[in-house]
């Protein structure tokens, strides 16, 4: 017979499929299911939450051991056998002496004696002896709490009986091995309510008792502790071994997601550039426009990267900042298609629409305006060249998934260079439908002069940073600016950091941080170019925020940050705008995303 309630419980707990070993930041403690018998499904919820400790309060009642918090709640069907011992025996049988398929899984049954010690304890021992599988198992510890016998009498009971001790008590060498756990009321050490940080004096007191406990080779648990996410973070950082909780699904979900929602930088910080600010805010019209779009990049994503990079980020070198409101024509929450059409065409259009208005009519795009000014245009992306964001600058389709139609639209638009990853068949389609374009499979395959139009379809461009994209984005930027700068009238360069968005959709903070730090190196290259050139305006923004990310913990000195995602989709949160160079002042303030289009035009007029 398969495990009881397993199917019922699967909806309670979300298990991550993605693990990034170098960034994995799992809390160092295990779950203690406080007053477990009050859970909707005693024992089994704790078991499926992978709790390391399960608390059961017992009374001697009518010659048996009954389970309840208060005597008036005792019921004959709720015995230690029915709720805990029988399930444990079932598991040991099911898994041939183990408790689960995970052979490392162990559990501590913390038995809190509410009745007078004896005859309650003697009755308990008699019952336990009828479960030889349990008392002989190395996967289960039976630890007594509450009305324990005097310390001097600990040795009078069978070796399978262990004891919950007190941090301030000293145990003799003959007894100490039978005291694996020390428990205390947290309020004896701090009146902290779980919000913010623990006051320093109280924190030192807690660290002292925890370190002393660990020096004795024992584990520690605090009861009467705050029981929510910030408290779990703060107590976990102190080195608590068992986290006391009445909120099993929440704490279990938090722990399961820890590897995905926390990040610790295993390396050195990425490069930081100090701008000169010589042309920043000047009133002379720029010759070149660089528009960098971090897909899905909200303020939290930016600050997560800053924290993980040891409080260093090129985006935070900008003096001129703004906020862009991102709603589309037909939705409070935009997707990338109307999000970037707002930049390329200055209109609000429907979700999924690329370069058309809300009725489906094609609209003129910024590259056309730039062509009229004699400027060349390049579009770069760390995603598919027909994805919504790059497509918004050259295509006119009501449905963003129409990849073939989107790519064919390129033939009619004044795009001089398009680079990113692609799909099977793109090469043949380009050669058949776009005779004006040369095709290469590598940025390195571009010529030294941009005398023809070029498309780069490079597999590496579409890889994530975690899977080896390397320095492609910066190399693509540097090669493109070298080519475009040969045009005397200037250029318009759009580059998308596409996969920040993917990290938001997957609720993977490691992906967000890696992708944003890579994007930030493109920002660094853009600032360096702007200072060398003196006639370049750099604008950095996002089409929308993805994931509803909030930052709930961090330590920039260690490159560590932890977050919480409210959704796996886009949100309506305004996104930042950063500007540097001539006429950067145009981008300060708060405005609709469509205003960015007009501000770019005003800048070059």
Per cent of the chain over pLDDT 70 is: 96
Query: Which has the higher per-residue pLDDT, 2 or 459?
Result: 459
Q: How far is CA 114 from the centre of its chain?
A: 43
Q: What pLDDT was estimated at residue 16?
A: 32
Confidence of residue 2 (pLDDT cuts 50, 70, 90): very low
Dihedral sign, Cα of residue 181, residue 187, residue 192, residue 198? negative
Which tens digits make up the pLDDT trace of 65-121?
999 999 999 999 999 999 999 999 999 999 999 999 999 999 999 999 999 999 999
Which tens digits make up the pLDDT trace of 528-543?
999 999 999 999 999 9
Q: What pLDDT was estimated at residue 427?
A: 85
Which tens digits make up the pLDDT trace of 50-69?
999 999 999 999 999 999 99
Which tens digits make up the pLDDT trace of 131-172?
999 999 999 999 999 999 999 999 999 999 999 999 999 999
With a CB cutoff of 8 Å and minimum separation 6, the contacts of 588 are: 320, 321, 322, 579
Confidence of residue 18 (pLDDT cuts 50, 70, 90): very low
Return the minimum-mean-pLDDT range out of 13-17, 331-335, 340-344, 579-583: 13-17
- What 3-state class would DSSP assign to 107? strand
The hierarchical CATH code for the domain 288-604 is 3.40.720.10
Which tens digits make up the pLDDT trace of 572-599?
999 999 999 999 999 999 999 999 999 9
Which tens digits make up the pLDDT trace of 504-561?
999 999 999 999 999 999 999 999 999 999 999 999 999 999 999 999 999 999 999 9
Closest CA to 190 of 172, 169, 207: 207
Name the residue ranges covered by the structural domains of the chain.
26-256, 288-604
With a CB cutoff of 8 Å and minimum separation 6, the contacts of 509 are: 260, 261, 262, 263, 304, 503, 549, 561, 562, 563
Helix axes 229-238, 248-256, angle to 10 degrees: 60
Confidence of residue 288 (pLDDT cuts 50, 70, 90): very high
Q: What are phi and psi of 238, to 5 degrees?
A: -75, -20
Q: What pLDDT was estimated at residue 9?
A: 36
Q: What is the mean pLDDT of the chain?
A: 94
- What 3-state class would DSSP assign to 576? strand
Q: 26-256 with 288-604: one CATH topology? A: no
C-alpha to C-alpha distance for 374 and 486, rounded to whole angstroms = 12
Which tens digits make up the pLDDT trace of 242-285?
999 999 999 999 998 888 999 999 999 999 999 999 999 999 99
Q: Quote the pTM value.
A: 0.88
Dihedral sign, Cα of residue 467, residue 471, residue 476, residue 479? negative
CATH class of the domain at 26-256: alpha beta
Which residue's structure tokens are 């320095």?
471
Q: Which two tokens stand for residue 181?
A: 């756990």
Per cent of the chain over pLDDT 90 is: 93
Q: What pLDDT was estimated at residue 26?
A: 52
Q: What pLDDT was estimated at residue 431?
A: 86
Query: Which has the higher per-residue pLDDT, 22 or 586?
Result: 586
Q: What pLDDT was estimated at residue 28?
A: 77
């Amino acid at each position: 017979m398969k495990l009881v309630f397993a199917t019922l419980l699967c909806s309670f707990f979300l298990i991550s499929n993605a693990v990034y070993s170098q960034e994995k930041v799992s809390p160092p403690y295990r779950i203690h299911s406080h007053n477990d018998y009050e859970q909707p499904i005693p024992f089994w919820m704790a078991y499926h939450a992978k709790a390391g400790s399960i608390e059961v309060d017992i009374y001697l009642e009518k010659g048996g051991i009954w389970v309840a918090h208060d005597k008036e709640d005792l019921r004959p069907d709720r015995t230690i056998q029915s709720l805990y011992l029988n399930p444990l025996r079932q598991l040991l049988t099911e898994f041939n002496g183990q408790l689960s398929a995970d052979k490392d899984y162990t559990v501590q049954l913390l038995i809190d004696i509410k009745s007078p010690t004896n005859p309650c304890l003697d009755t308990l021992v008699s019952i336990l002896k009828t479960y030889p599988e349990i008392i002989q198992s190395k996967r289960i510890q039976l630890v007594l709490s509450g009305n324990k016998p005097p310390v001097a009498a600990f040795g009078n009971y069978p070796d399978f009986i262990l004891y919950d001790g007190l941090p301030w008590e000293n145990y003799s060498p003959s007894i100490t091995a039978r005291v694996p756990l020390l428990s205390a009321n947290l309020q004896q050490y701090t009146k902290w309510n779980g919000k913010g940080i623990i006051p320093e004096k109280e924190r030192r007191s807690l660290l002292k008792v925890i370190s002393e406990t660990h020096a004795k080779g024992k584990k520690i648990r605090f009861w009467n502790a705050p029981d929510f996410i910030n408290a779990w973070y703060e107590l976990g950082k102190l080195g608590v071994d068992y986290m006391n909780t009445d909120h099993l699904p929440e704490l279990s979900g938090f722990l399961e997601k820890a590897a995905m929602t926390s990040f610790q930088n295993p390396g050195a910080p990425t490069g930081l550039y100090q701008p000169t600010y010589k042309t920043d805010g000047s009133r002379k019209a720029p010759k070149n426009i660089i528009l960098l779009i971090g897909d899905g990049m909200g303020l939290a994503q930016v600050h997560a990267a800053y924290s993980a990079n040891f409080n260093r980020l090129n985006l935070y070198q900008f003096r001129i900042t703004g906020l862009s409101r991102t709603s589309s024509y037909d939705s409070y929450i935009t997707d990338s298609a109307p999000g970037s059409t707002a930049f390329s065409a200055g209109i609000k259009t429907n979700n999924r629409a690329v370069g058309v208005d809300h009725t489906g009519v094609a609209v003129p795009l910024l590259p056309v305006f730039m062509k009229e000014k004699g400027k060349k245009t390049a579009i770069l992306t760390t995603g598919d060249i027909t994805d919504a964001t790059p497509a918004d600058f050259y295509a006119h389709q009501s449905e963003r998934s129409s990849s073939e139609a989107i790519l064919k639209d390129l033939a009619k638009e004044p795009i001089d260079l398009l680079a990113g990853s692609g799909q099977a068949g793109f090469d043949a389609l380009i050669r058949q439908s776009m005779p004006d374009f040369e095709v290469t499979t590598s940025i390195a395959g571009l010529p030294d002069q941009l005398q023809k139009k070029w498309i780069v379809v490079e597999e590496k461009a579409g890889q994530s940073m975690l899977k080896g994209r390397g320095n492609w984005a910066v190399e693509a930027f540097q090669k493109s600016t070298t080519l475009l700068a040969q045009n005397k009238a200037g250029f318009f360069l759009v580059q998308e950091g596409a996969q920040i968005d993917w990290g938001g959709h997957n609720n993977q903070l490691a992906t967000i941080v890696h992708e944003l730090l890579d994007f930030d190196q493109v920002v660094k290259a853009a600032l360096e170019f702007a200072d060398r050139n003196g006639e370049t305006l750099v604008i950095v923004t996002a089409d929308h925020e993805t994931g509803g990310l909030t930052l709930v913990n961090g330590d920039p000195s260690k490159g560590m940050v932890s977050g919480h995602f409210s959704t796996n989709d886009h949100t309506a949160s305004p996104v930042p705008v950063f500007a540097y160079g001539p006429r950067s002042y145009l981008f300060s303030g708060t405005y609709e995303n469509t205003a960015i289009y007009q501000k770019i035009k005003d800048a070059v007029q």
